Amino acid sequence: MSYQSQLTVLYKIINEYSNLLEQIGQLQCQASTIDSLGTDILNDSTIPAHEKDLLLRFLSHLYKINDELQTHYWMSEHLKVLHEMGQAFSKTFKREEIYQKAFELVSRVMDTNSFFIALFEEDQQKIFFPFIIEEGTLYQPFRIDFGQGIVSHVIKNRETVHIKTNKEFELAGSLSFGDGIDTNTAIYVPLLIGDHVKGVISAQSYQQFAYKKEHEELLKIIGSQVIHAIENSILYETVYELSIRDELTNLFNRRAFHSDLEKQIAWADRHNASITLIMFDSDDLKKVNDLYGHHMGDIYLKHISHALTKHLRSGETAYRYAGDEFMVLAPNLSEDEAWERVHLIQNYLNENPIEIMGNKFSISVSIGIASYPKHASSAEELKRMADKALYFTKNKGKNQVTIYNKSV
């Protein structure tokens, strides 16, 4: 070979190395490129044997450098993911957002063709799958009986299961989704809080041997953050629910009413719809309390709340506003329908008296009705107009109904 030819080959190899080093510097995996270069050098008869040996030794060092860089890169991404996940979970109590963010971050550091989160409902012996996604397809939540399959095994034994091949996958009876595409690798990690198993998180790949031990550890850490975020979400929802529920009747309370009224008015404006507010006031609570005690007064109020909820239709909500005053918000309820509805409630109360010390006691309510936007231009005005109608009713006598008009 001429000197010029040798230089051409050398320049070609140096150029390959230069490109390779640049890419390694960008932390991209170059194992296949290095392998390819090694094969080319071995098969190139123009390169002297002693130079081949030097070049192959150089490639061996590059391979080790590449492997170290990949490890550092993966660890760096690992830490970024955990930091980002912690920040994301601190900003939301919405479980759907927690599930989606967990999937997105796991996908960044693992080959994740499918992913799911399963929650163990111990009291019902069910496993609930609130989030299942495969290749961009988000599946509807569902439940299965606890006791069979790999997910039940992970929950029962509190141990991580790492399946590396399709054959292992079939033998394990693993849960899979999609249209028949074989899942070949999967990691199932129990979601633990203390000694209690709360569920399972799983990442799955179509490739065999897709995951390493490091992926198991990462998924364990992510799973721990996920289940704590879910538990915080459940706690938040429980506390919030208590803050907007009346303890005695379990109806929504005054706070919830004002929040919902504003939302319903905004909804009506967007959809050119109407909102009817029905205000109820009991006629005899004070009498019952004075004669029979507050315990019977509580039964009296519960009976009214039962009558309201029994006659609600979809989209309507009942509230215990204060004392013996109740509200119902009903979208797109006409005056005739409202009139008919409240008479059904009055008749129900009359026909189903409560028993007090062996005596039957019929309950009656006075009612005021107003609608938005017919009778009011704002949430506050709607409440005021319904209150005026109720006040007019109370002056007429017990067990009466008034729909607001200008003469009220």
CATH number at residue 192: 3.30.450.40
- 3-state SS assignment for residue 46: coil
Is 333 in the same domain as 238? no
- What domain range includes position 370? 254-403
The answer to whether residue 128 sits within a structural domain is yes
CB-based burial of residue 22 (10 Å sphere; 0-12 exposed, 13-18 middle, 19+ buried)?
A: exposed
User: What is the percent of the chain where pLDDT is above 70?
Assistant: 83
Regarding whether 104 and 30 lie in a shared domain, the answer is no
Give the CATH number for residue 314: 3.30.70.270
Residue 165 confidence (pLDDT): 77
> Angle at the Cα of 227 (from 135 to 241), degrees rounded to 5?
110
Please check whether residues 66 and 183 belong to one and the same domain: no
Q: ∠ CA 64-68-71 to the nearest 5 degrees?
A: 140
**pLDDT on residue 45:** 80
How many independent structural domains does the chain possess? 3
CA 170 to CA 183: how far, in whole Å?
9
Last residue of a domain, one of 197, 214, 242: 242
How far does Cα 360 stand from its chain's mean position? 48
**What would the mean pLDDT of 279-293 be, rounded to a whole number?**
89
Q: How far apart are CA 406 and CA 334, in angstroms?
A: 18
**Which DSSP symbol is given to 125?**
T
Q: Which of 26, 55, 85 is the last residue of a domain?
A: 85
pLDDT at 50: 77
Residues 387 and 310 in one domain: yes
Residue 249 lies in a domain: no
Q: Name which of 37, 40, 31, 110 is nearest 65 in CA terms.
A: 31
Residue pair 63/98 in contact by the 8 Å Cβ criterion: no
**Cα–Cα distance between 286 and 263 in angstroms, integer?**
34
Q: Identify the three-state secondary structure at position 326.
A: strand
Same domain, 150 and 207: yes
User: What phi and psi, each to the nearest 5 degrees, are found at residue 214?
Assistant: -60, -35
Same domain, 231 and 308: no
* Same domain as 126, residue 42: no
Residue 224 and residue 121 share a domain: yes
Residue 302 in this model has a pLDDT that exceeds 80: yes
Which two tokens mark 99?
């599930």
CA–CA separation, 202 and 147 (whole Å):
18
Residue 397: which pLDDT band, with cuts at 50, 70 and 90?
Answer: confident
Give the ranges where 158-201 is alpha helix by DSSP (H): 166-172
The band of 380, judged by pLDDT with boundaries at 50, 70 and 90, is very high
Residues 291 and 394 in one domain: yes
- Is the confidence at residue 177, as pLDDT, over 80? no
User: 291, 270 in Cβ contact below 8 A?
Assistant: no
| β-bridge mates for residue 191, sequence order | 199
- Is 195 among the domain residues? yes
Q: What stretches of 123-179 show up as alpha helix (H) in DSSP? A: 149-157, 166-172
Indicate whether 27 and 142 sit together in one domain: no
* Average pLDDT value for residue range 168-186: 63
Residue 304 contacts residue 282 (beta carbons within 8 Å) = yes
Nearest to 316 by CA among 327, 307, 305: 327
pLDDT of residue 180: 44
pLDDT of residue 7: 46
**For 112-149, what is each residue's pLDDT tens digit?**
999 999 999 999 999 999 999 998 899 999 999 998 78
The whole-number pLDDT of residue 19 equals 63
Asked if the structure places residue 408 within a domain, the reply is no
- Which of 367, 245, 241, 248 is CA-nearest to residue 303? 248
Which amino acid makes up residue 315? G
pLDDT tops 60 at residue 171: yes
28 confidence band (pLDDT: 50, 70, 90) = low
3-state secondary structure of 273: coil
The reply to whether 390 and 364 lie within a common domain is: yes
**pLDDT at 26 (0 to 100):** 52
R_g (Cα) of the chain, nearest Å = 35
Instruction: State the pLDDT confidence band at 178, using cuts at 50, 70 and 90.
Output: very low
What mean pLDDT is predicted for residues 277-293? 90
Tell me: do 386 and 258 sit in the same domain.
yes
**259 in any annotated domain:** yes
Residue 173's pLDDT band, with cuts at 50, 70 and 90, is low
In a domain, residue 25? The reply is yes
The domain boundary residue, chosen from 62, 85, 108: 85
> Is 213 within the bounds of a domain?
yes
Which residues, in sequence order, are bridge partners of residue 129? 142
The answer to whether residue 122 is domain-embedded is yes
| 3-state SS assignment for residue 94 | coil
Q: Residues 261-297, buried b or exposed e (16+ Cβ, 10 A)?
A: beebbeebeeeeebbbbbbbbbbbbeebbeebeeebb
pLDDT in tens, 216-255: 888 998 899 899 999 999 898 888 888 999 999 999 999 9
